Chains A and B, each alone.
Chain A
Amino acid sequence: MAHKHFRFLGVVAAAMVLTIACGGTSGGGTPTKTYKIGLVTDIGGLNDKSFNHLADLGLEKAKTDFKIQGDVKESKSGDDYIPNLTDFATKKYDLVIGVGFLMQEAVGTVSGQFPDIHFAIIDGAGTDAKSNDLKHPNVQSLYFKEQDAGAMVGTMAGWLEKNNKAKKNKHIIGAVGGISIPPVDHYIAGYKWAAKIEDPSIQVKIGYSNNFTDPAKCKGVAKSQIDAGADIVFQVAGGCGLGVLQQAGQSGVYSIGVDADQKDADPSVIASALKKVDVATYTAIKNVVNNQFQGGALTFSIANEGAGYAIDNLDVPAELKAELDKVLGQIKSGALTPPADIPA
């Protein structure tokens, strides 16, 4: 038995030597200052059609505009966050970007170990195990005013109800959240607030699935809202929320997507509330290239083109389009300020 293992070792070692010998061709010199940017995805991977994909788009755009070397690591599981962030940090990258709040604790840990390396994290901060912000000066949090995007789709829903252009026109709309955490509630706050401005008689039903991944859970919550008369439902629950869009399609009512443009997820999707992660990523990189990196929060909103909305599978009447443009302009100028907390 023993000699067999030694033989195993021997050939592995031989294979290694061979690979090293042949691997020397890669790598090259770095002329003047090329900024090195490392992007670490969460477990969604690059093809998630959402945050990770958008962050990569931002990186690609930055690659064409600036002299940077942009490298990506896809995390296959939560086990990979710390090694992936640490690897970029040990190689002295100029900016290491973590995508999504799932990486908060990992960013908190690694940013403490490498105080000289700049980190940015989408939708989160560098935290300890209890989600307390460690406020490391080398970490930039890229937050979004979700209420801005929520207000745009809320305006649309309220206008449709007021003008009897929805499916049932009972002046009831719904919102399905994943878990009641700030980014989710911000969306719902703007949605409800704006819908009420358009249609003061409107009733907004709000439910939570306590889940971000299982469409069946969200489908159930959406169904109860639709059964209670809602004919426009807004999903704020990530992958779980796809169930909201499907249920709306099956029940013949309208739905609204979230984060990325979800036009193709279901024909019932009339609009999407957008978090422009690509803009945020690009801006963070631009700041580093211009030597303007700052720790702390950087917030993206309609005013700086970091939030917005998309009209999807609906022919929007000219009056509605005019109304949307008006509200967008007012939020942009500061005349209207959507609330962060869900109004009563």
Chain B
Amino acid sequence: MPLGSVVFAFAVGALIVGATGANPFSAYAGLLCGGLGIGCTQGENPALEISNTIVFAIPLITTGVAVALPFRAGLFNIGAEGQLLAGSIACTAIGIKFNTLPAPILLPMVLLGGMAAGALWAGIPGVLKATVGAHEVVTTIMLNYVAQWLIRYLIIGGPLQAPGGFSASSPIGPGARLATLLPHDNSLIIFGLPSSVYRVHTGIFIALVAAGVFAFLLWRTTLGYEIRAVGQSQRAARYAGVSVRRTIIVTMLIAGAFSGLAGAIQIAGVDHGLTDKYFSDTTGFDAIAVALLGLGSAVGIVLASVLFGALHAGGAVMQSDAGISSSLVGVLQALILFSIAANFLSAIWRRLPGTRSAPHAPPPATPAAGLMTEAAAAPTESPSSA
């Protein structure tokens, strides 16, 4: 199903490119080169392209997890972006305030601080949902705006603005920064380029660990069982003795911590301070598509993050090599999400001759409902193999 969505998106994308009079093959060749460093013809450096893709994928993994976990509990966390921003604010504030501390102390402080801030940001909708039943879609979306405007205030005339008048904070202390995998050295040549151009940082390991923690939590712990139970049926879960309210709040707190960690990693690993780019950051929204495309599983989320990271990194190469606007990437992402949400591919599949007749097929589940059940992880759309 998700693979079908990707193929569908690329096929429709090719039609769109073709309709504008350009060559879809050169467009996708540019994307492939810029995203994965494969088949580059114009002097691009494959190692650099892969490095860029990983840098873009890192925050998507952690925020993807932050969307997928509440999905399992039947909650729609549309607020991963706001939680990410809260984490980036906390990381920056701590990293500036204690900028003289050494890395072994300061780095855990900024990362944990980011997680705490993200948890707080997601905890508000969690508590509101559990106590007064306020719908988390509305509250998490609204808190995204609050976080965006809070950053605006903080770095434009607010307490985090760097002296000098630009809309950016001061840089965080050296001890608060995640190291790059290769030394940050302009004179050391690796793969034909100065090693400082490869920006992949140790945040990749943190993100992969976060994905592992997510899988372990969900499938190997009591809490994970409770989360899945609440997601499948709150009534049944309550009958089985699970506190639905507590589970909702705890789920949101953990999800927020994952998002906050993404924000902290971005600051500590890439930006080293808040800038105006966070006014228009969309990582937390892309994460929704990543979680859906990854079927809410840890491995799926990592793969989907790499795909979206590659699309992001590849867009610019495609634009300069093939002369096709990098906005095509946005179109492809939207098409992927659209076909998952519409779920029509499996409906078409089911009607194909040779597959089981309609009455025996299971009713088409909505994608979110699918994510909440273990059954969704199995290939439900190929009943012919049964």
Contact = CB atoms under 8 A, between A and B. Distances in A.
Interface of A: 1, 4-5, 7-9, 11-12, 15-16, 19-20, 22-27, 38, 43, 71-80, 82-84, 86-88, 90-92, 102, 109-110, 112-114, 129-131, 179-181, 210-213
In order of increasing CB-CB distance, the 5 nearest A-B pairs are A78-B277, A23-B29, A71-B320, A20-B39, A91-B43
Interface of B: 2-3, 6-7, 10, 23, 25-26, 28-29, 32, 34, 36, 38-39, 41-45, 48, 52, 56, 156-157, 162, 164-167, 170-171, 186, 193-194, 196-197, 199, 270-273, 275-282, 297, 299-300, 303, 312-313, 315-317, 319-323, 325-327, 329-330, 377-379
Given A25-B26, A90-B45, 17 more contacts: A23-B25, A23-B32, A26-B23, A26-B25, A26-B41, A43-B277, A43-B280, A74-B325, A79-B312, A83-B313, A83-B316, A90-B44, A90-B193, A102-B276, A113-B196, A180-B165, A210-B157
Nearest to A211: B156
20 contacts: A4-B379, A5-B299, A5-B300, A12-B3, A15-B10, A19-B25, A24-B41, A25-B25, A26-B322, A43-B277, A71-B321, A76-B312, A78-B276, A79-B56, A79-B312, A83-B313, A90-B44, A91-B44, A109-B196, A179-B156
Contacts, number: 147
Contact of A113 (B167, B197, B378): B197
A22 B25 contact: yes
A212 B168 CA distance: 13
Given A26-B23, A77-B277, A84-B316, A7 B3 contact: yes
Instruction: Give the interface SS of chain B, mostly helix, strand, loop or mixed.
Output: helix
Given A8-B2, A19-B28, A83-B316, A179 B167 contact: yes
A92 B197 contact: no
Given A43-B280, A74-B326, A79-B56, A20 B186 contact: no
Contact of A23 (B39, B45, B157, B316): B39
A54 to B, nearest CB: 19
Nearest to B32: A19
A84 B378 CA distance: 40
Contact of A87 (B171, B276, B320): B320
Contacts of B299: 5
Contact of B297 (A1, A83, A110): A1
A11 B313 CA distance: 21
B154 to A, nearest CB: 12
Given A19-B39, A131-B164, A11 B25 contact: no
Nearest to A131: B164
A24 B322 CA distance: 12
B280 A77 contact: yes
Contacts of B44: 87, 90-91
A212 B193 CA distance: 37
A327 B181 CA distance: 59
A24 B275 CA distance: 40
Contacts of B39: 19-20, 23
A43 B23 CA distance: 26
A340 B193 CA distance: 42
A1 B273 contact: no
B320 A20 contact: no
B303 A8 contact: yes
Given A20-B32, A74-B325, A113-B196, A90 B165 contact: no
Most buried by A among B273, B282, B315: B315
